[in-house]
């Protein structure tokens, strides 16, 4: 997910997306613990998507405060 896509989402959609990505990350970690993933870089990608979503959410919160 690119920043352009994230900016186009509503705040509610961002919160929902963060929740779903966190669940996805948990599942990936469990699967990786049991048997190695074909692409372990996927864990890194999901963490970064979560960080991008949280950054945009925080940016919107700070904009509302001003």
Across the chain, mean pLDDT equals 95
Domain residue ranges of the chain, discontinuous segments joined by +: 3-65
Give the fold, CATH level 3, of 3-65: Helix Hairpins (1.10.287)
DSSP 8-state class, residue 22: H
> How high is the pLDDT of residue 2?
87
Render pLDDT for 10-39 as a digit per residue (tens, 0 to 9): 999 999 999 999 999 999 999 999 999 999
* Contact between residue 63 and residue 31 where contact means Cβ atoms under 8 Å apart: no
């Amino acid at each position: 997910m690119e920043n352009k896509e994230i900016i186009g989402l509503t705040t509610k959609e961002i919160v929902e997306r963060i929740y779903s990505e966190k669940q996805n990350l948990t599942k990936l970690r469990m699967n990786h613990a049991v048997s190695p993933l074909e692409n372990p870089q996927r864990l890194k990608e999901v963490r970064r998507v979560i960080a991008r979503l949280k950054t945009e959410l925080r940016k919107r919160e700070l904009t509302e405060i001003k």
